Chains A and B, each alone.
Chain A
Amino acid sequence: MVVTSPRTRAPRARRPYSGTREINEQSELGAVYMRTLIRAQRRLGLSVCLVACGALGLLPLLFAIEPDLGKFRVLGLGLPWFLLCVATCPMLLLAGWFYVRQAERSEREFAELVERP
């Protein structure tokens, strides 16, 4: 007779796989796991932030150096109005969506890593 029941969560919690145990027991290896995760997330967060906010942050400087840019018109709006009112909104959303996707992916990879037997 063959038992083909699926694995359930309950037995896993009682007998944790090594990565989880390493971290919970504060071993060197556990610390390395955690440091890797934190570094990856920090790098991701900072880069998304720097690219999005840095692009925005260049604008005042640009308009100060080259005031004639302000007279340029896009879709009937002055360039500063177009950039700040219309263009920032999808740009920020896109950056946020990209960040959420990547952050969740790196958490999934971390989970696979520490739950590996």
Chain B
Amino acid sequence: MTSGYAIVAVVVVVLGTILVGAYGLRVSRTTSDFYVASRTVSPWWNASAIGGEYLSAASFVGIAGLIFAYGPDMLWFPVGYTAGYLVLLTMVAAPLRRSGAYTLPDFAEARFRSRGVRVVASILALAIGWLYLLPQLEGAGLTLNTVTGAPDWVGALIVTAVVTANVMSGGMRSITFVQAFQYWLKLTAITVPIVFLVIVWQVNGAESLTKPDFPVFRQNTDVSFQRQTTIHVEKAVLVKGTGSVDGVRVGDTGLVLGEGYHRIAQGAELTFPKDAPVPHLSTMAHNTNEMWSLPMSSGADFPLYGAYSLIIATFLGTMGLPHVIVRFYTNPNGTAARRTTLIVLGLLAFFYLMPPIYGALGRVYTPELLMTGQTDAVVLVLPTRMIDGVGGELLGALVAGGAFAAFLSTSSGLVVSLAGVLSQDVLRLGGVRGFRFSTVLAGLVPLAMTFVSTGMPVADMVGLAFAVAASSLCPLLMLGIWSSRITTVGAIAGMLAGGVPALTAGLVTMFADTGDAWYEILLSRPAAWTVPLGFAVMYVVSLLTQRHVPAGVQRTMVKLHAPENLGLDGSGSSSDDRS
């Protein structure tokens, strides 16, 4: 699917992002402008910006892809991404704003008055941010590959370059506008095509999406295999095209693929005939559309454990994401922070109605993606497949533009917050120059990581970042805000006890092949055991080390919980010396 319109759309989004960023440049002058947009952002702008920042590659292409491949079990991704904001609203929104913290390490220091806690929180925030940036770049590579055929690294490189340049020149003031603009762009880009697709589906007889049949090719379909792929064929099928299958070249006369497994070489371009059942990736369950639409149909081991682990990770992980926290400082006070979060909840819930529809329509209209394993591309391919001619191409272009907006906005938010952490805590470089240098570093590391990762679905990768956040920074926030008994030793021990195993599990899943080992699910969905571990260790160690309760904890609690307008700041020696 190479489309001129889609390339234009991607270019327009990239240029638009740069332009809107440059517009903000005129207003950003001093260091404090750079960091927190001078707190002059209204709740609607702020909520749109949070939405724009939060709706990442995983939301835009990844969720639809996972639902398309594995069915309703994957609905927990959108539900969890939304419900995470309810947890954030009820447990941390207002106190976090009142702490005056700009980053998570700032919160750690404001609450615990300890350099040690701050350093550990910084390192974890960096790790989570980079883990989260990686799938954004992979998603950008996939999108560009789908619409232009360019190699995967091109998209990643473009996103890194644009984001780094934009953040370096504009800082956060411009980013707030960019992000708010991106939310509405993304919502348009995912909603408008789906309206047309549903109309087309209805007009063509509203074919049931959950028929008790295996997916079949609706027309003669050209499929190109980007990497070596092992497929399982249920019913012998005659394919034509170029490339080799099981080491045999496919000639002009075609080749019959018999029942069983076949290895298709990288770069093969095969044409499958109309009405043939679609072979499926050897690692994926083979389901009729009816079976697919039922829970627990994905064929994974221990589906219940997997579901609960995902729920825990997404519900609790949201508050620990470094780019989400930053946005709370731009609210004028705790009450506004709560209201902003409520608006965000609505914006997200509305957006997440769309991806499942793409996933379900994909079962009927783009089943060949089940065979190539490029399930994340379903959102991008569907419009051109269902609607012929210019109309379909334009809608496809809109989706591609929206997807690119998703990568740009989330990456921008992440790079801003990571650069903040890097310049303040790791490199200790002050001022605008230090921030700019850190920005470059924050973008380069994940770009390098894209060359070694194993290409798992982007939403799964994002899920791992959530798991690390939920096991380390979530206990720090929740217990730190709601209990005055947490000690510095306990905080450090808890963050490490939860964060290190979760991070290790995530890295092993991403960069090594664990295959079918029984413990695979424990590594790819670690939250169900690492989150309780983090909470328990933090609380128990704190109880054992009550001598290390930070000095002035009562004053800190006053600052976190008392409404601002009462003049209660715990009086006197406040640690807030930010200017």
Q: Which residues of A contact B (CB under 8 A)?
A: 13, 16, 20, 23-26, 31, 34, 37-38, 41-42, 44-46, 48-49, 52-53, 56-57, 60-61, 63-64, 67, 70-71, 78, 80-81, 84-86, 88-89, 92-93, 95-97, 99-100, 103-104, 107, 110-111, 114-115
Residues B90 and A78 in contact, CB atoms below 8 Å apart:
no
Residues B315 and A85 in contact, CB atoms below 8 Å apart:
no
The answer to whether A80 and B72 touch (CB under 8 A), given A89-B353, A96-B342, is: yes
Residues B295 and A60 in contact, CB atoms below 8 Å apart:
yes
Residues A56 and B79 in contact, CB atoms below 8 Å apart:
yes
Neighbouring A residues of B75 by C-beta, 8 Å: 80-81, 84-85
Neighbouring A residues of B91 by C-beta, 8 Å: 45-46, 49
Interface residues of B in 329-352 (CB under 8 A from A): 335, 338-339, 341-342, 345-346, 349-350, 352
Residues A64 and B339 in contact, CB atoms below 8 Å apart:
no
Contact of B294 among A60, A70, A95 (CB under 8 A): A70
Give the CA-CA distance A71 to B212 in the complex, in Å: 13
Contact of A38 among B89, B339, B349, B561 (CB under 8 A): B561
Residues B563 and A111 in contact, CB atoms below 8 Å apart:
yes
What are 6 sample pairs from A and B whose C-beta atoms fall under 8 A apart? A42-B482, A53-B87, A88-B349, A95-B86, A97-B342, A100-B339
Neighbouring B residues of A84 by C-beta, 8 Å: 72, 75-76, 78-79
Residues A92 and B561 in contact, CB atoms below 8 Å apart:
no
Residues A53 and B315 in contact, CB atoms below 8 Å apart:
yes
Q: Which residues of B contact A (CB under 8 A)?
A: 72, 75-76, 78-79, 82-83, 85-87, 89-91, 94, 210, 293-296, 303-304, 307-308, 311, 315, 335, 338-339, 341-342, 345-346, 349-350, 352-353, 356, 482, 554-555, 557-558, 561-563, 565-571
Residues A34 and B562 in contact, CB atoms below 8 Å apart:
yes
Closest beta carbon of chain B to A112's beta carbon, Å: 10
Neighbouring A residues of B346 by C-beta, 8 Å: 93
Majority-rule SS of A interface residues: helix
Give the CA-CA distance A20 to B491 in the complex, in Å: 31
Neighbouring B residues of A100 by C-beta, 8 Å: 89, 338-339, 342
Neighbouring A residues of B79 by C-beta, 8 Å: 56, 84, 88
Residues B304 and A24 in contact, CB atoms below 8 Å apart:
no
Closest beta carbon of chain A to B475's beta carbon, Å: 15
Majority-rule SS of B interface residues: helix
Give the CA-CA distance A67 to B558 in the complex, in Å: 50
Residues A34 and B345 in contact, CB atoms below 8 Å apart:
no
Question: Which A residue sits closest to B307, measured CB to CB?
Answer: A60
Neighbouring A residues of B554 by C-beta, 8 Å: 26, 31, 34
The answer to whether A52 and B567 touch (CB under 8 A), given A89-B350, A92-B349, A104-B335, is: no
Residues A78 and B293 in contact, CB atoms below 8 Å apart:
yes
Neighbouring A residues of B295 by C-beta, 8 Å: 60, 63-64, 67, 70, 80
Neighbouring A residues of B350 by C-beta, 8 Å: 89
Neighbouring B residues of A95 by C-beta, 8 Å: 86
Neighbouring A residues of B558 by C-beta, 8 Å: 23, 34
Question: Which B residue sits closest to A78, measured CB to CB?
Answer: B293
The answer to whether A49 and B294 touch (CB under 8 A), given A89-B353, A96-B341, A103-B338, is: no
Residues B311 and A57 in contact, CB atoms below 8 Å apart:
yes
Residues A60 and B308 in contact, CB atoms below 8 Å apart:
yes
Considering the complex of A and B, which 8 residue pairs feature the smallest CB-CB distances, nearest first? A89-B349, A45-B90, A84-B75, A24-B571, A63-B295, A60-B307, A70-B294, A80-B72
Residues B87 and A99 in contact, CB atoms below 8 Å apart:
no
Closest beta carbon of chain A to B381's beta carbon, Å: 22
Question: Which B residue sits closest to A24, measured CB to CB?
Answer: B571
Neighbouring A residues of B349 by C-beta, 8 Å: 88-89, 92-93
Neighbouring A residues of B87 by C-beta, 8 Å: 49, 53
Neighbouring A residues of B335 by C-beta, 8 Å: 104, 107
Give the CA-CA distance A57 to B311 in the complex, in Å: 7
The answer to whether A24 and B296 touch (CB under 8 A), given A34-B562, A60-B311, is: no
Closest beta carbon of chain A to B423's beta carbon, Å: 33
Question: Which A residue sits closest to B80, measured CB to CB?
Answer: A56
Residues A53 and B567 in contact, CB atoms below 8 Å apart:
no
Residues B482 and A38 in contact, CB atoms below 8 Å apart:
yes
Residues A96 and B83 in contact, CB atoms below 8 Å apart:
no
Neighbouring A residues of B561 by C-beta, 8 Å: 34, 37-38, 41
Closest beta carbon of chain A to B273's beta carbon, Å: 31
Closest beta carbon of chain B to A111's beta carbon, Å: 6
Closest beta carbon of chain A to B509's beta carbon, Å: 21
Question: Which B residue sits closest to A85, measured CB to CB?
Answer: B356
The answer to whether A24 and B568 touch (CB under 8 A), given A41-B561, A93-B345, is: yes
The answer to whether A25 and B571 touch (CB under 8 A), given A34-B558, A49-B86, A78-B210, is: yes
Give the CA-CA distance A110 to B315 in the complex, in Å: 30
Give the CA-CA distance A99 to B338 in the complex, in Å: 9
Neighbouring B residues of A99 by C-beta, 8 Å: 86, 89-90, 338
Contact of A56 among B83, B294, B565, B567 (CB under 8 A): B83
Give the CA-CA distance A32 to B40 in the complex, in Å: 35
Residues A107 and B563 in contact, CB atoms below 8 Å apart:
yes
Give the CA-CA distance A107 to B554 in the complex, in Å: 18
Neighbouring A residues of B567 by C-beta, 8 Å: 13, 16, 20, 24
Give the CA-CA distance A100 to B85 in the complex, in Å: 13
Question: Which B residue sits closest to A38, measured CB to CB?
Answer: B561
Give the CA-CA distance A109 to B78 in the complex, in Å: 37
Give the CA-CA distance A57 to B565 in the complex, in Å: 38
Neighbouring B residues of A49 by C-beta, 8 Å: 86-87, 90-91
Residues B82 and A88 in contact, CB atoms below 8 Å apart:
yes
Residues B86 and A110 in contact, CB atoms below 8 Å apart:
no
Closest beta carbon of chain A to B361's beta carbon, Å: 13
Give the CA-CA distance A23 to B561 in the complex, in Å: 12
Residues B304 and A60 in contact, CB atoms below 8 Å apart:
yes
Closest beta carbon of chain B to A82's beta carbon, Å: 10
Closest beta carbon of chain B to A38's beta carbon, Å: 5
Question: Which B residue sits closest to A86, measured CB to CB?
Answer: B353
Residues B562 and A37 in contact, CB atoms below 8 Å apart:
yes
Give the CA-CA distance A25 to B87 in the complex, in Å: 33
Give the CA-CA distance A78 to B297 in the complex, in Å: 14
Contact of B566 among A53, A57, A115 (CB under 8 A): A115
Closest beta carbon of chain B to A98's beta carbon, Å: 10
Closest beta carbon of chain B to A102's beta carbon, Å: 10
